[in-house]
């Protein structure tokens, strides 16, 4: 009988290690990730300056895989002052290159370790890392796509460069990843990937989880009578200025209104200048970055969470607000139309509607204590469906299925996950 392939330095493959664990009576070889080596490739990591939901997703999945026994290496970009390598949460973190060089250096890093990993999770933040071209056939590759980036390319780059980005994200990536199962975080993102990128590979929906953080109590008077809050990265496509100007547009209808902006990013100074020019300093508070407890305190003290983003894969802050019983007003765009249940856990701004008018309608409804209590309860119930444990378990099931397909043995039971994993089916 032919011997299974071995990895570099003669170490056994994941399949062999699972057989050894099973034969030694120390674990179920079909269900355990013990000894499985996973590389997670992601544009950023959560401690970096403009990190967002995609980074949190990749990191939380990595933490779960470590708890399941996997050896996880997280390869990402490097910001000034950050160490090139460190171990955090049991994860081997490797940083290399800036926001552009990372797409060259990470594939090279993987190339020199191409037989060191059993599974690669390749996060495509517009541009993929092309892991299938680098690793061997025995290594399973999962493609992780949060949303289609075409609009983002044209918002930030010249047309010629945006066209190149769209070509890489579409025809090039579609061919490279045609045999790799793909993970996305919402039904609307799945639809966009399938239709706009003409994606041929199977797509699994594994939603975000959310962290439960106990907030510090904040006196309601500190936030005025009507407190709106935005939480997220301060970048162009989030259109945070539309949230800030609500303090001006709704001042006559809602005296005492205050808008709180929590987050960091390149739009912080332009927003600060906007507040100064319009003399909104008594009605707008730019908090900058807050740790989880202080962020939850500000968010939980608000009557309404508002986001003006023009595209999202999901909308992690929507669920973070819902955990605290705070509903969200958001535009009816892919991702956000999945995380916000219109008229149940929030309100969607449809085509032809103005953000200020929808926020005004929401505030009128929330001014009724009974309605506010019912909406808050609906938010908490909806948010309870999303945990990082469920996200990690769904990703683990998918990884196990891929490991079984890449390293089958006679009589082995293959683990094939459902094509969709969501709160409704878990």
- Taking phi over 0 as left and psi of -120 to 50 as alpha, with beta for the rest, 335 belongs to left
Q: Which two tokens stand for residue 11?
A: 């170490």
Q: Which two tokens stand for residue 240?
A: 């945070």
- Quick one: pLDDT band at residue 410, thresholds 50, 70, 90? very low
- Quick one: pLDDT band at residue 99, thresholds 50, 70, 90? confident
The pLDDT tens digits of the residues spanning 76-94 come to 999 999 999 999 999 999 9
The stretch 389-413 carries a mean pLDDT of 77
Residue 406 has pLDDT above 50, yes or no: yes
How crowded is residue 183: how many other Cβ atoms within 10 Å of its Cβ? 25
Nearest to 312 by CA among 235, 247, 389: 235
pLDDT score at 4:
35
Q: Do 285 and 296 meet the contact criterion of CB atoms below 8 Å apart? A: no
% of the chain residues with pLDDT over 90: 70
Nearest to 297 by CA among 349, 227, 240: 227
Report DSSP state, residue 170: I
Integer Cα distance of 93 and 88 in angstroms: 7
% of the chain residues with pLDDT over 70: 85
The stretch 164-190 carries a mean pLDDT of 94
Query: Coil, strand or helix: which one is 3?
Result: coil
pLDDT score at 141:
96
The stretch 313-328 carries a mean pLDDT of 93
Residue 414 has pLDDT above 60, yes or no: no
Radius of gyration of the chain (CA): 23
Q: Do 263 and 274 meet the contact criterion of CB atoms below 8 Å apart? A: no
pLDDT score at 419:
43
The pLDDT tens digits of the residues spanning 18-34 come to 434 433 444 444 457 99
- Quick one: pLDDT band at residue 50, thresholds 50, 70, 90? confident
- Taking phi over 0 as left and psi of -120 to 50 as alpha, with beta for the rest, 325 belongs to left
The stretch 57-73 carries a mean pLDDT of 96
The pLDDT tens digits of the residues spanning 343-390 come to 999 999 999 999 999 999 999 999 999 999 999 999 999 999 899 999
pLDDT score at 213:
65
pLDDT score at 214:
61
The stretch 119-128 carries a mean pLDDT of 94
The pLDDT tens digits of the residues spanning 212-257 come to 766 554 444 344 478 999 999 898 889 999 999 999 999 999 998 9
pLDDT score at 224:
43
Integer Cα distance of 76 and 96 in angstroms: 6
pLDDT score at 311:
80
Length of the chain measured in residues: 426
- For tokens 């009724």, what's the residue? 368
The architecture in CATH of the region 8-209+388-406 reads 3-Layer(aba) Sandwich (3.40)
Q: Which two tokens stand for residue 422?
A: 């969501």
The mean of the pLDDT values for the chain is 86
The stretch 199-210 carries a mean pLDDT of 94
- Strands of the sheet containing 140-144, edge to edge, are 85-88, 91-95, 71-76, 37-41, 119-123, 140-144, 182-184, 203-205
Query: Domain 220-383 adopts which CATH fold?
Result: Rossmann fold (3.40.50)
- Quick one: pLDDT band at residue 413, thresholds 50, 70, 90? very low
Residue 403 has pLDDT above 80, yes or no: yes
Residue 15 has pLDDT above 70, yes or no: no
pLDDT score at 151:
79
pTM higher than 0.85: no
Domain 8-209+388-406 and domain 220-383 have a common topology: yes
The pLDDT tens digits of the residues spanning 126-140 come to 899 999 999 988 899
Residue 163 has pLDDT above 90, yes or no: yes
The stretch 396-417 carries a mean pLDDT of 65
Domain extents in the chain = 8-209+388-406, 220-383
The stretch 325-339 carries a mean pLDDT of 94
- Lowest average pLDDT, out of 186-195, 221-230, 264-273, 414-423, goes to 414-423
Residue 107 has pLDDT above 50, yes or no: yes
């Amino acid at each position: 009988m032919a011997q299974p392939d071995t990895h570099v330095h003669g170490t056994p493959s994941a399949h062999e290690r699972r057989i050894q664990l099973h034969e030694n009576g120390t674990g179920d070889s079909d269900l355990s990730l013990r000894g499985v080596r996973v590389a997670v490739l992601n544009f950023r990591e959560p401690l970096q300056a403009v990190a967002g939901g995609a980074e949190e997703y990749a990191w939380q999945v990595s933490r779960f895989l470590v708890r399941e026994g996997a050896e996880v290496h997280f390869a990402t970009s490097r910001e000034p002052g950050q160490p090139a390598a460190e171990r955090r949460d049991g994860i081997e973190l490797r940083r290399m290159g800036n926001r552009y060089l990372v797409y060259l250096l990470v594939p090279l890093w993987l190339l020199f370790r191409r037989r060191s990993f059993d599974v690669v999770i390749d996060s495509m933040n517009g541009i993929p890392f092309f892991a299938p071209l680098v690793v061997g056939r025995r290594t399973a590759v999962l493609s992780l796509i949060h949303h289609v980036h075409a609009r983002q390319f044209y918002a930030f780059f010249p047309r010629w460069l945006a066209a190149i980005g769209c070509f890489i994200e579409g025809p090039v990536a579609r061919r490279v990843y045609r045999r790799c199962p793909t993970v996305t975080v919402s039904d609307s993102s799945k639809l966009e990937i399938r239709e706009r990128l003409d994606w041929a590979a199977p797509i699994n929906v594994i939603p975000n989880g959310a962290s439960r953080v106990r907030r510090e109590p904040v006196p309601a008077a500190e936030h005025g009578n009507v407190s709106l809050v935005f939480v997220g990265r301060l970048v162009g496509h989030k259109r945070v200025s539309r949230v800030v100007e609500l303090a001006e547009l709704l001042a006559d209808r809602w005296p005492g209104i205050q808008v709180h902006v929590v987050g960091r990013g390149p739009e912080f100074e332009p927003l600060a200048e906007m507040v100064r020019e319009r003399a909104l300093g008594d009605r707008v508070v730019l908090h900058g970055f807050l740790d989880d407890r202080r962020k939850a305190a500000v968010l939980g003290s608000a009557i309404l969470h508002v986001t003006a983003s023009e595209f999202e894969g999901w909308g992690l802050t929507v669920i973070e607000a819902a955990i605290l019983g705070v509903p969200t007003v958001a535009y009816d765009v892919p991702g956000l139309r999945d995380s916000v249940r219109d008229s149940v856990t929030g309100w969607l701004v449809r085509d032809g509607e103005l953000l200020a008018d929808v926020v005004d309608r929401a505030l009128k409804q929330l001014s009724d204590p009974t309605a506010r209590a019912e909406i808050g309860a609906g938010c908490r119930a909806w948010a309870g469906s999303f945990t990082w444990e469920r996200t990690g378990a769904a990703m683990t099931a998918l990884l196990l299925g891929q490991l079984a397909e890449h390293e089958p043995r006679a009589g082995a039971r293959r683990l094939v996950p459902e094509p969709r994993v969501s709160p409704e089916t878990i």
